[in-house]
Amino acid sequence: HVAFAAGSGITPVLSLIKTTLRREPDSRFTLVYGNRTVASILFSEELEDLKDRYMGRFTLHHVLSREP
C-alpha cells in the first residue's frame, strides 16, 4: 500500500495505516508525508513508533517545503 498526505490530511491516513498493518500481517505500507517544516509535522512521535513497531513493513518519507 502507498499513501500520500500533507499537513492535517494525515489524520484519516494514519488510521488506515494502523488498521492495515495490524490486520494484514504480510502487507507493507509506504507513506509520503508533506509538511512545511519538521516542527509542523503532526503525529510525529506516533509515526516514529509505527516505524519501530513495523520495521521492514512501514516506510515513511518526509517532504519538507520550507526546510533548507
Phi/psi of residue 20, each to 5°? -60, -50
User: Cell triple for residue 51?
Assistant: 516505524
Tell me the percentage of the chain whose pLDDT exceeds 70.
100
pLDDT digits (tens, 9 = 90+) for 10-29: 999 999 999 999 999 999 99
Q: Where are the beta strands (DSSP E) in the chain?
A: 2-6, 29-35, 58-64
Q: Is 68 exposed, middle or buried (0-12, 13-18, 19+ CB in 10 A)?
A: exposed
Query: Does residue 68 surpass a pLDDT of 90?
Result: no
In eight-state DSSP terms, residue 7 is: G
